[in-house]
Amino acid sequence: AAALALMPRLAELLEKDGSDGLFRKVEMPLLLVLLQMERTGLHADPERLREQSEGLGAEIDRMVAEIHAAAGEDFNIDSPQQLSHVLFDVWGLPTQGLKKTRKGFYSTNAKVIEGFADGGYEASKYVREVLDYRERAKIKNTYLDALPQLIRRDGRIHTTLNQTVAATGRLSSSDPNLQNIPTRSELGHRVRTAFTVPEDCVFLACDYSQIELRLLAHLSGDEHLVAAFNEGADFHRATAARVFGVPVEEVTPQLRSRAKAVNFGIVYGQQAYGLATSLKIPRAEAQEMIDRYFEAYPGVRAYLDQSIAFARKNGYAVTMYGRKRHIRDIKSGNFQLRSFAERTAMNHPMQGTAADIIKIAMTRVPSRLREEGLKSRLVLQIHDELDFEVPRDEIESLSELVRDTMQGVAKLRVPLLADVSYGKNWAEAK
């Protein structure tokens, strides 16, 4: 009753804010699509989850024994206080520059101890073992042990997809969160093998290729960035050639990897400190790489500066489709708060527009499925990817339909590309 009573006033405020178009054209049509996806769910194999849990449990037991042996004592690895004692008192890792917690011991969060794992200390291999243990324990507890309890009588897991949680406009997943399964780790791959499809179907994934970088090219209008995408070459290799001043054919895998880090770092407003940390290089070298990037793509520097100026003037950043993200700290006197606000101002037009585009695609694809009389079903969305349960005799037609629909959502200065892959389970599809 309260929501109904508020509706006229909220509708008035949406219109005044200029956000009613996004609300009515993007968000509201998506409601029924999300409802259907939640009702359909994902087919899951409880036996595979049980086998993986047992196997990972054995690995964890072995790791705990090795860590205890290295420490010369039994202790609870999950206890920050006990682990702190082992790291700094028993293994003698340096504490210089570290802060103590309120309880009086040095922090053992991942950011703190990851530096020790790669720091060449005598105990580094044991620290790496601790980090590996944590990753395995989290996967086991969060997914392998918990997911079987969530499989309903239809043999499926039904996540909840939320429209109004992420400030960027992206959808989020909860109960369970299926978007947080690590995408690039071998452990995440294991978990995904348990998400299967009926015998006569395949799991098909279609995801946008480098959508945020393509949006950066479109929004900035940088001629070199636009040309790199329109020529259809390896974009990260092309960036490496321009940034490091070498011919494209002489770009090594290491240079390409560094260029890739810079490309994605720029999208998220990353500064020299963040790039240096991710690449494990000196800060001065990271700053030089960023400077070279902006020399190679001057239109990008101008666009990012304009984005910050727009947010400072208006108090928000906005996407191509009118999604506003209000940024209250953009004029803050606190350097850290202001810096984060500026990174948000730079990133939101790209990340938020990508969120808008995938949402529009999500409403168009099911509509086309009905028009074509196909039995394929949209079962999940993760960031820039749509996942389907597809009868084998529809693989070809569904692939073409989804790719064409996703690529046709927006007309940009550069091609909007979507890649299709499939397999007998989620892991094989990706």
Q: Domain extents for the chain?
A: 2-44+159-210+356-429, 46-148, 212-354
Distance CA 81, CA 73 (A): 15
Picking from 365, 331, 326, 307, the residue whose alpha carbon sits closest to that of residue 19 is 326
**Predicted local confidence at residue 233, as pLDDT:** 77
**Closest to 37 measured CA to CA, from 170, 220, 162:** 162
Q: Domain 212-354 is of which CATH architecture?
A: Orthogonal Bundle (1.10)
Alpha-carbon span 115 to 383, nearest angstrom: 29
Smallest CA-to-CA distance from 264 within 213, 318, 208, 197 is with 213
pTM: 0.90
- Residue tagged 């770009």 (tokens): 251
Picking from 380, 384, 385, the residue whose alpha carbon sits closest to that of residue 176 is 380
At residue 114, the pLDDT reads: 85
Half-sphere exposure of 110 (CA within 13 A, CB side): 5
pLDDT at 215: 96
Query: Which residue type does 100 have?
Result: K
Q: CB 289: neighbour CB atoms within 10 A?
A: 21
pLDDT at 44: 95
Q: What is the pLDDT of residue 274?
A: 85
Q: Cα separation of 390 and 35, whole Å?
A: 19
Encoding tokens for residue 173?
């997943």
Q: Give the DSSP per-residue string, 246-288.
A: --GGG--HHHHHHHHHHHHHHHTT--HHHHHHHHT--HHHHHH
Q: How far is residue 64's CA from residue 77's CA, in Å, rounded to a whole number?
A: 8
In tens digits, the chain (430 residues) has pLDDT values of: 999 999 999 999 999 999 999 999 999 999 999 999 999 999 999 999 999 999 999 999 999 999 999 999 999 999 999 999 999 999 999 988 888 888 889 989 888 888 888 777 888 889 999 999 999 999 999 999 999 999 999 999 999 999 999 999 999 999 999 988 887 788 889 899 999 999 899 999 999 999 999 999 999 999 989 998 998 878 899 889 988 888 988 999 999 998 999 888 888 888 888 888 888 888 898 898 899 999 989 999 999 999 999 999 999 999 999 999 999 999 999 999 999 999 999 999 999 999 999 999 999 999 999 999 999 999 999 989 999 999 999 999 999 999 999 999 999 999 999 999 999 999 999 8
Quick check: helix, strand or coil at residue 160?
A: strand
Which CATH number describes the domain made up of 46-148? 1.20.1060.10
DSSP conformational letter for 392: G
Distance CA 216, CA 225 (A): 8
Instruction: Classify residue 202 as exposed, middle or buried by CB count within 10 Å of its CB (0-12, 13-18, 19+).
Output: buried
Query: CATH assignment of 2-44+159-210+356-429, given 1.10.287.370, 3.30.70.370, 3.40.50.150, 3.40.190.10?
Result: 3.30.70.370
In Å, how far are 18, 65, 76, 79, 207 from 131, measured between CA atoms?
47, 15, 14, 14, 31
- DSSP strand pairing (324-326 vs 377-382): unpaired
Which residues are CB-neighbours of 85 under 8 A, at least 6 positions away? Answer: 75, 105
d(C-alpha 257, C-alpha 97), whole Å: 31
Burial of residue 249 (CB within 10 Å: 0-12, 13-18, 19+) is: exposed
